Amino acid sequence: MYFLMRSLPMDINEINDQKARRKEELEFLEKIGINPYPYEFNKTHSAIEIISQFRDEEPEKFSKVFVAGRIMTFRRMGKATFCDIQDETGRIQIYFRKNDLGDSYDLLKYLDIGDIIGVEGFVFRTRMGEITVHTQRYEILCKSLTPIPVPKVEEDESGNKIVHDQFTDKEQRYRKRYVDLIVNPDVREIFRKRAKIISFIRNYFDSRGWLEVETPILQPIYGGATARPFITHHNALDIDLYLRIADELYLKRLIVGGFEGVYEISKNFRNEGMDKMHNPEFTALEIYVAYKDYFWVMELVEDLLNSLVTYLYGTEKIVYDNVEIDFKKPFARRKMFDLFKEYIGEDLKNKSEQELLEIGKRLELEFPENASKAKILDEIFSEIVQPNLIQPTFVIDYPIEMSPLAKKHRSEEGLVERFELFVNGFEIANAFSELNDPRDQRSRFEEQARLRAKGDEEAMVIDEDFLNALEVGMPPTGGLGIGIDRLVMLLTNQKSIRDVILFPQMKPENQ
């Protein structure tokens, strides 16, 4: 017997007394003929509609409304009860009175915080001045069996909101995002902004006639970025496939195919570390437009971000982490090697791998063994220069070793026509005049293959079909990538990528 007991799943929640009590309430409601999970409710008003509609005009006749939402607070006072219900738009106070409701008033005691109800009533203003729905009839729309955290909101004299017992445990918030969304209204706001940002970008591109496309997530050869991929397996074909690390090479094939502007909002996957700037799956935007170069793309990015910020906030300025950031056009444009000169006091152009390594070490940086020239420059840049780039700054003209898919600079030896946009030290955008000379592309791939042979697991692999596409011929093309998650972080003042991804990757909980 003892062993039997011990071998039963002893889920702590199963023996939770609050859960048990709610289950009893639910069974009681069913016994007296009430369906605690009915099929529909015809809402006429949202919480915010009621408040905005009745705030200014005090209606002579009380107006009838049908509202529905989740019960967030209860104030029971014997023969009268107040509660706040919450719908997608906000909260509205509901008033119940024994005189009006009779027997159904007594059933209120079988309702709990977390239940969802529908209310038919008229709107009035209480003595304390709060716009409230006076219930004439109500019905339960969903009985909640698991209690949710109950933060309480207090308003001080100056109208500031103080939240008591806020649901703050980050692990629980990310794992149980549905609870987080219910009890932390700011979280809903972030994801609404995220949706607005994405739809703004989509409209911006669509209205210019560029085509939204979908390219493979499962790829036999991964490419378009330097990163380690996730590997999966297709059973019927019995081949390994890679989850895409970027969609660049497919989008360029579409430019070869004759589309003159294509873009994709793409979930990419990189099998690397996670921290507040990296989630293993993330969203990137890439766009390619035929007959354009990177100067044109710079103007596109300036205008896109400027109009996006203006659309969201009605101004060109935002505040991130108490720093004001101004998206006024044009953004600063700085050549990469000029920035090196400014921040290191030395011209790194034409330096050998060995010389760069020595400079890096003097700056107290550490490098992996066999670090390539590209890696060393990248390291020096991201450690020394990048943190200083707070206001929107285009860094232009990268060394060729760092950019195997970008076209050679039209006038400067050893450089490519590439820019990255930095804001608040974040890399927001990456763009080039796209390399379309198949002979040059092949030799760049071959150089990547050499790096790979030397042990660089992130170096690119040769994609013969992509080279074939370039041989068919791609027009001059400007290409751009934007990290959507980081852009959302910047525009919503969030410090961690997990706060702008609804379901961030977490280790499974130990069962």
Partner RNA sequence: GACCCUGUAGCUCAGGGGUAGAGCACCUGACUUUUAAUCAGGGGGUCGCAGGUUCGAUUCCUGCCAGGGUCACCA
Q: Within positions 337 to 366, which residues make up the interface with RNA, using CB under 7 A?
A: 366
Rounded distance between C-alpha atoms, residue 190 and residue 209, angstroms: 29
| Residue listed under structure tokens 């707070």 | 390
Q: Applying CB under 7 A, does 317 fall inside the site for RNA?
A: no
Rounded distance between C-alpha atoms, residue 98 and residue 109, angstroms: 12
Rounded distance between C-alpha atoms, residue 201 and residue 457, angstroms: 34
Residue 373 one-letter amino acid:
K
Query: Which is closer to RNA, CB of 35 or CB of 126?
Result: 126
Q: Segment near RNA (CB under 7 A), from 30-38, 137-145, 185-193, 275-283? A: 275-283
Query: Which is closer to RNA, CB of 158 or CB of 510?
Result: 510
Three-class SS of residue 139?
A: strand
34, 150, 344, 357: which one binds RNA (CB under 7 A): 150
Q: Segment near RNA (CB under 7 A), from 313-321, 324-332, 467-475, 478-486? A: 478-486
Q: Which of residues 192-231 bind RNA (CB under 7 A)?
A: 225-227
Query: Which is closer to RNA, CB of 273 or CB of 345?
Result: 273
Q: Segment near RNA (CB under 7 A), from 35-43, 296-304, 325-333, 482-490? A: 482-490
Q: Applying CB under 7 A, does 152 fall inside the site for RNA?
A: yes
Q: Segment near RNA (CB under 7 A), from 53-61, 109-117, 309-317, 436-444? A: 109-117
Indicate the angle between helix axes 294-313 and 484-492, nearest 10 degrees: 40
Query: Which is closer to RNA, CB of 256 or CB of 282?
Result: 282
Q: Applying CB under 7 A, does 10 fall inside the site for RNA?
A: yes
CA-based nearest residue to 96, from 115, 109, 83, 113: 83
Query: Which is closer to RNA, CB of 127 or CB of 410?
Result: 127
Tell me how far apart the terminal alpha carbons of the chain are, to the nearest angstrom.
24
Q: Segment near RNA (CB under 7 A), from 56-64, 171-179, 314-322, 352-360? A: 171-179
**Opening angle at CA 272, ends 270 and 273, nearest 5:** 135
CB 436 within 8 A of CB 477: yes
Minimum distance of RNA from residue 162's CB (angstroms): 8
Q: Applying CB under 7 A, does 128 fall inside the site for RNA?
A: yes
Query: Which is closer to RNA, CB of 167 or CB of 327?
Result: 167
Phi and psi, residue 473, nearest 5°: 120, 120
Q: Applying CB under 7 A, does 278 fall inside the site for RNA?
A: yes
Q: Applying CB under 7 A, does 454 fall inside the site for RNA?
A: no
For residues 422-452, b (16+ Cβ closer than 10 Å) or e, as one string? bbbebbbbbbbbbbbebeebeebbebbeebe
Query: Which is closer to RNA, CB of 224 or CB of 256?
Result: 224
Helix (H) or strand (E) holding 376: helix 373-380
Helices (H), 243-289: 248-256
Dihedral angle of Cα 68, 74, 78, 80, to the nearest 10 degrees: -40
Q: Applying CB under 7 A, does 112 fall inside the site for RNA?
A: yes
Q: Segment near RNA (CB under 7 A), from 35-43, 158-166, 206-214, 405-413? A: 158-166
Q: Segment near RNA (CB under 7 A), from 17-25, 344-352, 410-418, 445-453? A: 17-25
Q: Which residues contact 204 (CB under 8 A, 6 or more apart)?
A: 304, 307, 308
Q: Which residues contact 18 (CB under 8 A, 6 or more apart)?
A: 147
Query: Which is closer to RNA, CB of 256 or CB of 385?
Result: 385
Q: Applying CB under 7 A, does 497 fall inside the site for RNA?
A: yes
Helix (H) or strand (E) holding 283: strand 281-290
Q: Which of residues 35-94 bind RNA (CB under 7 A)?
A: 73-80, 82, 93
